[in-house]
Amino acid sequence: MVNTLRRELTLRQAKVLKAVEDYVLEHGYAPTIRQLGSALKIPSPSAVLKHLQSLERKGYISRADGEIRVAGLPALVESQVRVPVAGLVPAGGPRESFDATGEAMDVPSWMVGRRRGNVFCIRVDGKSMIDAYIDDGDHVLLERTNLANSGEMVVAMLDDGSVTLKRLRRDNGHVFLVPENPAFQPIEAPSAKILGRVIGIMRKY
């Protein structure tokens, strides 16, 4: 079925709307005008604002208190996605490699976004990442990848097959897995294998 409303959009308006939708799916929240301008390579905030005002008049978005809301996305944001659980991963000293448990848990689909099918969950054992607000017993969502940027939190496998959750740091050719708790020491791990990077945390109070 053809969406007649979309016929009313100019090509530029359709591009702006898609950029907003993509940002919400990726991050779980709407972009600011400057973030949207950067994504679209539109340097003028007033030009971005004019496009948003046009989309608002046509019913595609609404704006309140500076926040952009996309018509039709609330149901998507509230939906759930089942993600496989890969067992305990230490946030302390490294331990033996984790295995798939055969279990799964439901997480909000906006946390997964376009990564659906490439996300898994671990349960944290230990407090070495407490200053990054990751505590013992938390469920952490990760994107499967063997690449990560310096500064990102990752699950990594060391040469002995043990795994750990730490922050990746690269410094002058050296690779470190750094805890977020002064009671723990960084691990120098030049050949560590990245198994996934952290994209979210699930906690039940």
- Is 109 a residue of the active site? no
Angle among Cα 154, 92, 163 to the nearest 5 degrees reads 50
Q: Which helix (H) or strand (E) holds 100?
A: none
Name the residue type at position 151.
Answer: G
Which of 103, 88, 91, 84 lies closest to 154 in space, CA to CA? Answer: 91
Distance of CA 21 to the CA centre of its chain: 15
Cβ–Cβ under 8 Å, residues 68 and 52 = yes
Catalytic residue among 128, 150, 162, 204: 128
Please write down the long-range contacts of 47-53, taking CB distance under 8 Å and 24 or more positions apart: 48/16, 51/12, 51/13, 51/16, 52/16
Catalytic residue among 166, 191, 193, 204: 166
- Is 128 a residue of the active site? yes
Q: How far apart, in Å, are the Cα atoms of 148 and each of 36, 86, 171, 198?
A: 24, 20, 14, 10
Token digits of residue 198: 């952290």
**Residues identified as active-site:** 128, 166
